[in-house]
Structure 1
Amino acid sequence: ILSQSQSEKGGFKEVIFKVSGRGSYSKLKFESGVHRVQRVPATEAQGRIHTSTATVAVLPEAEEDDLVINEDDLKIDVYRAGGHGGQGVNTTDSAVRITHLPTGEVVICQDERSQLKNKTKAMAVLRSRLLARAAEERQERESSARNAQIGRGERSEKMRTYNFPQDRLTDRRLGYNLSNLDRRMDGDIDDLVDALSEQDQADRMSRLEEDGD
């Protein structure tokens, strides 16, 4: 568990956890969506069924960036360094300005007397900035993906219902109605995951065939 936020009335507002293992995302991604729960709370004296929803988002863990900078994307200018630094700095074209054309990111380095050393430093700074930019863009994409997955949390968007009074789990995508709800809540959903994976593959094949026509 990475983080959890408890609600004032008991239970949790949000839980964030990490699942590791080969193929974990390809399997668990089908759990994304709105899960509807129907139950009779212990505090319900009249025995009325209460309905609530829980939204689930499953996102892949971002891998460490392997950034390759294309030399064709760079504009490198060299010029005579100005300001303090001694006579040696100012008598040669040692200052380096690197512009990353696709992003407009500009890095200037003139600390060293050697043009090569300044270029090396400037490239290191540029690489760090581009990595930070890529991380920010990835976070924005993941945030958008998460919002698309969890929707608005409305009951009309539900993809699965857990009906405790009737001991029934209903998956709308598959059209399944299954019993033994306690066992399902303990994590015995391999048959559902496998069926959803097969359905997804069939849908992909169908779309490919349609595109090929």
Structure 2
Amino acid sequence: MAEITQAGIDALKVQLDEVEGYLRLDEQRQVVAQLEATSTAPGFWDDAEAASGVMAELTQAKDEVSRVDAARQRIGDIQAAFDLGQETGEEELLDEADGLAAALGRELSELELASWFSDELDHGDAIVTITPGQGGLEAQDWCGMLFHMYLAYCERRGWKVTVNDAPVAEAIGIDRATFTVSGKNAYGMLRGEQGVHRLVRISPTDAKKRRQTTFAGVEVLPVLPEDVKVDIDPNDLRIDVYHASGHGGQGVNTTDSAVRITHLPTNTVVTCQNERSQLQNKAFAMNILRSRLYELELAKREAELDELRGPKHEIGFGNQIRSYVLYPYQLVKDLRSGVETGNVDSVLSDGDLDKFVVGYHRWLVGGGER
């Protein structure tokens, strides 16, 4: 039975008005007109690189305008179907209005979320690293669970994932995981996942079946555009190669394809072993190193360690941003935004994280501290 009400439709209208305000849609329409005029000017393509940048900006601006215009049209369709359904008593029309309203609600949440991404890096790709914390073998298993949760989430959102490093632990789980996520607003969406994640469950490795609390840390960095310069002196690097393990197939494990790069002045270490080619692994590792050194430089210049990833905390008790409880009850709760769900499987197995991602950014916009 349809659950749609006039109050629900009115709430969508209010939300759309707010989204238009967030996106400054009148200004966006002017931007579109100016960029279209620029793109048709004589000699526009003489500088292909500059022209490509203008066209990318135009595409993004037109996309936001068209999405809002389409949402306004869909609200009209929802209202019409609801009014006719109420008038005729046809349940099919009310069901149609209900489905359209649910889909529009999700779309408006996406638009609202995108409007909060003011930094250029928010719109780009992300490098995610998961590290086991307190808990020994349990933490390695938890690290593997989080890794698969994020892979599922990226698949849901249609993002491309490149696994840079995910060595399988000797007994259970993985030692760590580093992967690059490519897609629209990937860094902006994922940066709220940075922090300590806590798992409570019956230990699968404990013969006495006792409850175990386990931790893992998640780091999220932006993939830097090529025009962002990070000076790295080759003399400051120690590069080690070794046999890869885990992802990559048999060929990876028979050659010294894995690469570990240590930046000696900062003692920053990055590894990559997913590709068969040592050169490819070195290139991926250098990209990760650039992002980490960029973050360190920002913190040094601005004296704000949480400029991009928030304060560092020990991966253990008292520092978690989210708890995943499997026993004695089932609950996933974000300790910053208060968003929670009892459907643990949908989160851990299916990667249903949008409610937590959106909830974090709403909390942040509302005055929460990063």
Q: TM-score range by the shorter chain?
A: 0.5 to 0.7
Deviations 1:157-207 (A, max 9, x none): 011111112221121112233201011112101111111111112228x9x
Equivalent position of 1:171 in the other structure: 334
Pick from 195, 220, 224 the counterpart of residue 62 of structure 1: 224
Change (3 A) 1:139 1:5: farther
Pick from 151, 155, 170 the counterpart of residue 317 of structure 2: 155
Equivalent position of 1:202 in the other structure: 366
How far off is 1:31 after superposition? Answer: 0.4
How far off is 1:33 after superposition? Answer: 0.2
Deviations 1:143-167 (A, max 9, x none): 9668855521121101111111222
Letter in 2 for 1:199: W
Letter in 2 for 1:17: F
Equivalent position of 1:50 in the other structure: 212
TM-score of the superposition, structure 1-length normalised? 0.57
Question: Matches of 2:217 and 2:359 in 1, distance apart?
Answer: 21
Letter in 2 for 1:190: D
1:33 aligns with 2:215: no
Equivalent position of 2:128 in the other structure: none
Percent of pairs identical after alignment? 27
Higher helix share: 2
TM-score of the superposition, structure 2-length normalised? 0.34
Change (3 A) 1:20 1:149: farther
Letter in 1 for 2:353: I
Cα contact 1:57–1:149 (8 A) shared by 2: no
Equivalent position of 1:141 in the other structure: 297
Cα contact 2:194–2:220 (8 A) shared by 1: yes
Question: Matches of 2:191 and 2:206 in 1, distance apart?
Answer: 35
Q: How many residues of Structure 1 are paired with residues of Structure 2 in the alignment?
A: 139
Question: Matches of 1:181 and 1:139 in 2, distance apart?
Answer: 33
Higher strand share: 1
Change (3 A) 1:17 1:54: same
Change (3 A) 1:161 1:137: closer
Q: Which has the larger radius of gyration?
A: 1
User: Aligned to 1:51, what secondary structure does the other structure show?
Assistant: strand
Cα contact 2:222–2:291 (8 A) shared by 1: no
User: Structure 2 unaligned runs (5+)?
Assistant: 1-162, 230-289, 300-304
Question: Matches of 1:150 and 1:54 in 2, distance apart?
Answer: 13
Question: Matches of 1:57 and 1:66 in 2, distance apart?
Answer: 21
1:182 aligns with 2:182: no
Pick from 21, 38, 42 the counterpart of residue 183 of structure 2: 21
Change (3 A) 1:54 1:44: same
Please tell me the root mean square deviation across aligned C-alpha atoms, in Å.
2.9
Change (3 A) 1:203 1:136: closer
User: Structure 1 unaligned runs (5+)?
Assistant: 68-133, 207-213
TM superposition outliers: structure 1 runs of 4+ over 3 Å: 134-137, 139-150
Question: Matches of 2:165 and 2:291 in 1, distance apart?
Answer: 21
User: Aligned to 2:220, what secondary structure does the other structure show?
Assistant: coil
Equivalent position of 1:8 in the other structure: 170
User: Aligned to 1:203, what secondary structure does the other structure show?
Assistant: coil
